[in-house]
Amino acid sequence: MSISRRAFLGSSIGAVAITGAAPLQAGQRHRRIPLPDPMRLWDLATPALVADVDHLEANLRTMRDAYAGGATSLRPHAKTHKCPVIARQQLDLGAVGIAVAKISEAEVMVEAGIEPLLITSPIATRGKLARLLGLARQAPTLQIVTDRLQNVRDLSDGASAVGITLGVVVDLNAGDDRTGIALGDQAVTLARAVAGADGLELVGVQAYAGRLQHVVGWEARRQQYTETMSEVMETVGAIRRAGLDVHVVTGGGTGTYDIDREIDGMTDSQAGSYIFMDDNYRDIGGRGGPVFDDFEPSLYVLATAISQPVDGRITVDAGYKAFATDKEPPRLRDIEGVTYRFGGDEHGILELSSPSEPIAVGDKVRLTIPHCDPTVNLYDHLHAARGEQVSEVWPIAGRGRSQ
């Protein structure tokens, strides 16, 4: 390995300390934090979560261009990055709003001045209803999904009590059987209840077919997704024939971003992972071939080789605590002939079969991300790197906000 990938004792000690996990000061959670002095990527304390800013910005532009001038817009899902700095960039490039998974993520975004927001999971307790209503008073454009008649009554009672009008999106079960009301008559009944409830405004419907986002092969994915969304649109038509306005039909994701645009009547896509493009998404294939390469991988973990207990094997300081473990293990970003396996909570094992570059204790390596959303949630901040220089830290302000 090139000597440039080594951190030298005594180099950039001040900068290394700045990028540690020190508590953020008031006002720092939502903005870029410039380092007093730019530092070498290879001097970061590890394991470190790093964003390749050049690739990230290219992904932003690619998605902007994909939706420019069409009938469908982009409403990126912030559960991927949990970072107001990135959400602001997405809005500045034309996104119609930001989607969040939970009320806690919405609270972070509202605090950062990010609007409009759609909370894409239903709430079901009094405590969270109170938080929702309080947040809606701060952010009148806030919207929430619902999939139960009792929930409509609770939302109506709460909104009426505090004197607000709350935008509500009917969550349809598009086949995932995770959330959402059944397509057909039940959905029409629920939409009618929202439209007739005091304090509520029927905005539209959400139909997220998550299971279809990772269908391998673009043609197979397109066929299955198009069939599912045609069923969704039949229900949308039934709601409209009942005399109700459906302004928004939202759903979709990174795996179907270029198919969502083809769905007649779909107003916006909730693509999220495109910003980072993890291994799991790249492996499903794209329109042009077996690798989904419409977007660049822009996220990786920097790790340090800390031990070589036996020949042909190197231990790095990034294990179960450094990556989400629900998918295949990470891969080396730059070096071939090396495989990674988990070696415990704190350690990963590099098996050196025929490495294209030598790796020695003290060297640093870049590891790809198998699943970006839960991996991001393990870190306090992103190190924003251009090439081999880091000059900013972006707080992951929504980290751990799962309630």
Reported as a single tens digit per residue, the pLDDT across 224-246 is 999 999 999 999 999 999 999 99
- Tell me if 3-53+298-395 shares its fold with 54-282: no
Q: Is the pLDDT of residue 259 over 80?
A: yes
- Kindly report the length of the chain: 403
Reported as a single tens digit per residue, the pLDDT across 242-258 is 999 999 999 999 999 99
The structural domains of the chain, with segments of one domain joined by +, span 3-53+298-395, 54-282
For the stretch 240-243, contacts whose Cβ atoms lie closer than 8 Å and that sit 24 or more positions apart, written own/partner, are: 242/188, 242/191, 242/192
Q: What is the pLDDT of residue 30?
A: 86
Percent pLDDT > 70 in the chain is: 93
Distance CA 52, CA 301 (A): 11
At 354, the pLDDT band (50, 70, 90 cuts) reads: very high
According to CATH, the superfamily of the domain at 3-53+298-395 is D-serine dehydratase-like domain (2.40.37.20)
Record the tokens describing residue 264, joined without a space. Answer: 């007649």
Q: Is the pLDDT of residue 75 over 80?
A: yes
Q: What is the pLDDT of residue 24?
A: 53
Q: How far is CA 226 from CA 230, 256, 258, in A?
A: 6, 10, 12
Mean pLDDT over 192-206 rounds to 98
Is CATH 3.30.70.1150 the classification given to domain 54-282? no
CA atoms within 13 A on the CB side of 139: 23
Reported as a single tens digit per residue, the pLDDT across 116-152 is 999 999 999 999 999 999 999 999 999 999 999 999 9
At 18, the pLDDT band (50, 70, 90 cuts) reads: very low
Contact 295/277 with Cβ under 8 angstroms?
yes
Q: What pTM value is reported for the model?
A: 0.94
At 402, the pLDDT band (50, 70, 90 cuts) reads: confident
DSSP for 271-332 reads --GGGT--HHHHTT-BTTBSS--SS---EEEEEEEEE-SSTTEEEES-SGGGS--SSSPP-B
Q: Is the pLDDT of residue 3 over 50?
A: no
Q: What is the pLDDT of residue 10?
A: 39
